[in-house]
Structure 1
Amino acid sequence: MTSDSPAARLQRLFEGHRLTPTQRRIAHCMVRGATEVPFLSSVELAELAGVSQPSVTRFAVALGFDGYPALRRHLREVAPPAERAEEQQEDAYNEYQQAVQGEIENLRQLSAMLADPSPVQEAGRLLAASVPLPVLGLRAASSQARGFAYFAAKVHPDVRLLDEGGSMLADRIDAAAGAGASALLCFALPRHPREVAEALEHARQAGLTVVTVAESPFAPVARVSDLLIPAPVGTGLAFDTACAPMLLGRVLLEAMADALPDAQARLEAFDARAAARGLFVE
């Protein structure tokens, strides 16, 4: 993330503080709506985070401020002039344009985060080494998991998509672990199903290393993930938009392919089979 992005400033503000689960929920909510938070009242933030107004006040005090007004004033003061100018410009956009502009900012944050490629490269090595490779994504995250699994199967010898919950989910995780899996990739997007957190806890108990793509380091699944790589989601429309998590999934695919010695050969073999079958229209 860029050093002066709203989400980055918030995350630095939270670092080093021992937050309660309720306070982590507030922090998570603030990171998700980083550009709007400096303009919210304590009551509005409490409603957005699903907590009480006194909890917001205690949260601000835990961060070292006299109260929430002091925290909000700090967030406004540290925003650079260019960012404040952008906020004024956004007022001229209609709601659909604002949603697109929000996703553009999310992609900027993702690009800046990738300036340090080591977390993604580590994840790529973990995913490449896991045979089979279970890929989990339920509800809102199911399309992210399915897209990753579709492309991953072209370069990885055994990808197992887990996009349906229920009592058999733990069985399928156990089956993957029993077949030799060493890692599990999870796409976790809000609202977070309780079942996902339970599945990740089960996977860790089964000996799998959990790599998670989530919208924030403060997402509820962070505590049951071994390596969490954040990619923000858009919240400007009735339903969240997830361009950054989708793109991060493709970046992870690239990192995994780089760690697979026979990835190129597998791709070429697939292309040859597709051509022989006339699979695609030219």
Structure 2
Amino acid sequence: MNDGVVKLVQGARLTPTQRRIAHCLVEHGAKAAYLSAAEVAELAGVSQPSVTRFAMALGYSGYPALRRELRTLTDGEPAEPAGRNAMQRAVAAETDHLRRLGEQLDRLDDVRAAAELLVASRPLPVLGLRAAAPLAAYFGYFAAKAFPDVRVLDGGGTSLLDRLDQARAAGASAMLAIVLPRYPRETVEAVREAKAAGLAVVAITDSAVSPVAESADVVLPAAVGTQLVFDLHTGPMAMAMVLLQAMCDAAPEPVQRRLEQFEATAAQRHIFLA
């Protein structure tokens, strides 16, 4: 993820189609800076006039002017390695995502702010629908070992908002929302409902220009891999575990007590083989 490109599109009021274009530019960085409007449109799955309107929405006379700015912002980014098959390129892209995530974590202000919000919430709702449901369950499984009353909201339908209301009534003050492409409408609406109910929202999502970004109090972006038929979520999973570590660091004594209690119970019940 190129920080310059992110800053270019942050704060702009974009339509859903324009958000897709913005995400495409953020995701593909140096490559997108040398594509024509038609090629960007094909890459983002939109029409060519949409790309032109997107450039104008950012204040440029047209896409050529925006492309010149993109080349300036992405100049010096490493070129894509040659001579690799599709699977190798996909894994290499994930490696690059993790490298950039590591660089992003040079400053932990947002991660620590998110951890403080979530640690203070009892119960702690964790929202993740569709593609994000397994990651929400993964986070919730480990978070429940360290924190009491973690509630994973991984099913949609008419009961989702009921469960959110129940968490708020029980004392929840914040919610973790994991929002991954293709951005389920139900997830975004649930985040808005949570905000309206007074909950602070921490979002783990793929991009700083994700549709959920404008509704979240803290956004923790981690790019997803898009080179295979289905997305790779290595980055968001790493970010989720980094966040959980920060939560444990924010409340070391109670977390340690709960972990020791769990280990004692696990040993007594012979839960694990090793």
What's the TM-score once normalised by structure 2's chain length? 0.92
Contact persistence 2:30–2:74 (CA under 8 A): no
Shift of 1:60: 2.3
2:9, 2:209 within 8 Å by CA — same for their partners in 1? Answer: no
Q: Deviations over 1:169-188 (max 9, x none)?
A: 00000000000000000111
Q: 2:106 aligns with which of 105, 112, 115?
A: 115
Give yes or no for contact 1:28–1:216 (8 Å, CA) kept in 2: yes
| Corresponding residue number in structure 2 for 1:69 | 64
Structure 1, residues 221-256: CA drift from partner, whole Å, max 9, x if none? 112222111011111111111111001100110111
SS in 2 for 1:210: strand
Q: Does 1:281 align with 2:255?
A: no
1:47 is matched with 42
Distance 1:152 1:41 in 2: 46
Identify unmatched segments of 5+ residues in structure 2. Answer: none
Unaligned runs of 5+ in 1: 1-5
Give the equivalent residue in structure 1 for 2:209: 218
Pick which of 252-261 and 99-108 moved more.
252-261
The alignment partner of 1:153 has SS state of helix
Is the contact made by 1:135 and 1:185 (CA closer than 8 Å) also made in structure 2?
yes
Rate the CA distance shift 1:109–1:258 in 2: closer, same or farther, 3 A. Answer: same
Q: Secondary structure at the match of 1:207?
A: coil
Superposed CA offset, 1:170-224 (max 9, x none): 0000000000000000111001111001111111112111110000111111122
Q: CA deviation at 1:278?
A: 1.1
SS state at 2:203 partner: strand
Is the 8 Å Cα contact of residues 6 and 209 (structure 2) preserved in structure 1? no
Other structure's SS at 2:232 match: coil
Shift of 1:262: 0.3
The alignment-based identity, stated in percent, is 53
CA contact (8 A) 2:2 2:29 kept: yes
Per-residue CA distance 1:111-154 (angstroms, 9 max, x = gap): 11111101100111111100000001011111110110000000
Query: In structure 2, the residue corresponding to 1:262 is in which secondary structure?
Result: helix
The one of 73, 80, 87 aligned to 1:96: 87
- Residue in 2 aligned with 1:173? 164
Q: 2:223 corresponds to which residue?
A: 232
Q: What is the aligned counterpart of 2:263 among 248, 271, 279?
A: 271
Query: Would you say the 8 A contact 1:135–1:145 is kept in 2?
Result: yes
State the alpha-carbon separation in 1 of the partners of residues 162 and 216 from structure 2: 19
Q: How many residues align?
A: 273
CA RMSD of aligned residues (A): 1.9
The answer as to 2:232 corresponding to 1:241 is yes
- How far apart are residue 65 of structure 1 and its match? 4.1
* Conserved 8 A contact 2:5-2:73: no
CA separation of 1:181/1:29 partners in 2, compared to 1, >3 Å: closer, same or farther? Answer: same
Residue aligning to 1:37: 32
d(CA) in 2 for partners of 1:78, 1:216: 17
Contact 1:26 / 1:49 at 8 angstroms: preserved in 2? yes
